[in-house]
Copies of this chain bind each other. A is one copy, B any other.
Amino acid sequence: MKLAGRVEMPYLVSRVLEGNLPGDPVERMLPVYLPPGYDDQPTRRFPVIYVLAGHGGSGPLMLAPAAWGESFPERIDRLIRSGQMGPVIAVLPDCWTIFGGAQYINSSALGRYEDYLNNELVPYVDAHYRTLPDRMHRAITGKSSGGYGAMVQSMRHPELWGAMASHSGDIYFEFGYGPDLARLHANLMRFGGLEGFIEQIPTIKPKSHDPFFSVLGMLCYGAAFAPNPAAHRGFDMPVDMETGALRQDVFDHWLAWDPVRMIDQPEYVDAWRQLNYRYLDCGLWDELNFQIGTRIMHNKLNSLGISHDFELFNDGHINVPYRYDVSLPRLQGAIRES
């Protein structure tokens, strides 16, 4: 589908990712969608939405056309062209790592992806594109781990983000990650242990999805939430590598990063109060059980008197990009030039 807008694909060399432990690339593409009108009105400035990919994905992968489907630029272009939402710039960051992502936070085991997003990409975009360069006109959204990133970054950086939408975001880790943790030890054994798995990452995926993403996710979250420079690979494993039993002390570090717990902290409550707009949804049949934590968060926000849109829709965790059709127009409405 020909776009009414267009996509630029500059390559940036990051400073904050330099010397990252896994050796992931420091030069990355930053896809930026520019709406129809951007070129015709050369002095007009536009609000910006940052879209965070889920675990195993990245901004550049969101450019992929799909049979009987849409790339992200095709989707937002259609919404704008059809008048369902006003024009915005959309930014699709690449926060990919060896383990498929980094949960958009800083970790000595993976890299400073929180800094990369907030301190490098946002200034770059504001410097190179005609944005409305302030929090009132900047939103953050994403799906799955991207929804998680949107929740957490908008809690931690209210100075940057004015609106937030999370689709099926990671939450209530005991039920969201617990089932995969229970199988982690046996799954690793199938791949010849941790190093055997890491060695096979580049080749096992296309042939055997299951339990590839289950294991990869546990390593990703473990590296993000429980870094330990003294440990093998730079992070503490969440399960005992002899028996497979849960290491509760390690998992407590994970839980400290659980949005449903973070919202109990006053500074994060304050941050979310400052947002113009908040959106949370999840599938009723989410295979990762995130609907449970999403509902708990909804109840907590209600108790706090923080308004928000909330929906549990009739679907699962995957193949739900059509949910952006619901959130993007609302996000745009919340950050548009008044």
Contacts and interface: CB of A to CB of B under 8 A. Distances in A.
A56 interface: yes
A150 B316 CA distance: 39
Interface string A240-255: 0011111000000000
Interface string A154-187: 0000000000000000001011101101110110
A295 B244 contact: yes
Given A66-B61, A175-B245, A244-B175, A289 B183 contact: yes
Contacts of A201: 68
Contacts of A175: 181-182, 244-246
Contacts of A66: 61, 64
A53 to B, nearest CB: 10
Interface stretch (A43-51, A202-210, A303-311): A202-210
Interface in A174-231: 174-176, 178-179, 181-183, 185-186, 189-190, 201-202, 205-207
Interface string A284-315: 11100101110110010000000000000000
Contacts of A100: 67
B245 A206 contact: no
A172 B244 CA distance: 11
Closest 8 CB pairs of A and B: A64-B64, A179-B179, A175-B182, A244-B292, A206-B319, A68-B205, A243-B295, A182-B289
B289 A174 contact: no
Contacts of A205: 67-69
A68 B206 contact: yes
Contact of A245 (B67, B172, B245): B172
B246 A185 contact: no
Contacts of A172: 245
Contacts of A242: 295
**Which of A58, A179, A246 gathers most chain B CB within 10 Å?**
A179
B296 A243 contact: yes
Contacts of A189: 284
B61 A63 contact: no
Contacts of A60: 65
Nearest to A203: B68
Contacts of A243: 292, 295-296, 299
A141 to B, nearest CB: 20
Given A175-B182, A178-B179, A182-B178, A319 B64 contact: no
A291 B292 CA distance: 28
Given A11-B2, A172-B245, A174-B246, A285 B186 contact: yes
A319 B206 CA distance: 6
Given A244-B291, A292-B244, A182 B185 contact: no
A57 interface: yes
A58 B206 CA distance: 20
**Which of A57, A66, A189, A244 gathers most chain B CB within 10 Å?**
A244
